[in-house]
Structure 1
Amino acid sequence: MRPPIPPARTPGHYSVALVCLGNICRSPMADVVLTERVDEAGLAGRVAVVSSGTGDWHVGNPMDARAAATLAAAGYDPSTHRARHWSTAWLDEHDLVLAMDRSNLADIGGAGDRVRLFRDFDPVDAGGEVPDPYYGGDDGFEEVLTMVERTCAAIVGGLREELGPS
């Protein structure tokens, strides 16, 4: 069972931040997919999605070419992503902050009411980690995309419940 989505800080509007290590693989893949799912659900003007990395070495760069190719092959547009660095201010600026793994979660201060693991919402393996595909082959990116798509679907379901009809 999916955990509840925390209430919006501003009624009628919601902000989700996704966090991984370098913001070039996992969190940008989730950002692209969640943004598209939000748009498809008719929530585009009401839900904002951003992503960042706990490390700053990729700031300003596009996502990893393998991540972008995996997304493009599945029909998504990865072209606008540029890596950003996590800021602790995001804890107060976003309604929900989702880390890709336990190390990322620890780096941003640990779990809380509005801070969770991304896969806490995964209907197949709740509480699992999104593995970092950076040092592996293309199949790792495909595995991440599969996890991200099903988890984003569950998150959008929770956002619909939280925000109600448009």
Structure 2
Amino acid sequence: MKANVLFVCLGNICRSPMAEAVFRHEVNQAGLQQHITVDSAGTGDWHVGRPPHEGTRKLLGRLGISYEGMRARQFGAEDFETFDYIVCMDSSNEKDVKRIVGPKAQEGSKVFKFMDLLPESGIRDVPDPYYTGNFEEVYEMVQSGCEALLARVKADLKL
């Protein structure tokens, strides 16, 4: 079995590419790259084709986490068919994904918020460092959430 994971934020340059890079790093560290694929997208089209934000690149580079080849792309309804887990970085992204996909998005639990992975935190949404500038805070959330997601995916795949 294989699982396809997609992280979604607004512009696909800060939060979702950070989550993509961190989760891919964890998948590779666990030797599960043949079982789990990872991507990211944005609900908006402003940054399509651009690399991750400089703040994301600096943080990932400092931590030795690769973001090589990553370019922003826009989420499309076809992604709902391709991906098994569509992890939205905030409530607004989740609402936009469900609007783009239509009624099918209400079925099952494939579309969910990233912070649903960390219910004990009491935080509903991952803040956008494009506006806050706090990439470290976002990384801490992303790191913890990606660990929880990897455990969930491994359990679902019975790995």
Task: Tell me, yes or no, whether TM beats 0.5.
Answer: yes
Equivalent residue, structure 1, for 2:66: 77
Deviations 1:123-154 (A, max 9, x none): 642662110010233xx100000000011001
| Rounded Cα–Cα distance in structure 2 between residues aligned with 1:28 and 1:124 | 24
Contact kept, 8 Å, 2:25 with 2:66, in 1: the verdict is: no
| Rounded Cα–Cα distance in structure 1 between residues aligned with 2:91 and 2:153 | 24
Gaps of 5+ in 2: 100-104
Gaps of 5+ in 1: 1-11
Equivalent residue, structure 2, for 1:150: 144
Q: How does 1:17-166 map to 2 (within 5 A)?
A: 17-109=6-98, 112=106, 113-122=109-118, 124-125=120-121, 128-137=124-133, 140-165=134-159
Structure showing the higher helix proportion among its residues: 2
| Rounded Cα–Cα distance in structure 2 between residues aligned with 1:142 and 1:82 | 21
Distance change >3 Å, CA 143–CA 127, structure 1 → 2: closer
**Matched positions, count:** 152
Q: CA deviation at 1:84?
A: 0.6
TM norm structure 2: 0.89
TM norm structure 1: 0.86
Deviations 1:88-114 (A, max 9, x none): 111121111010001111111177421
Equivalent residue, structure 2, for 1:3: none
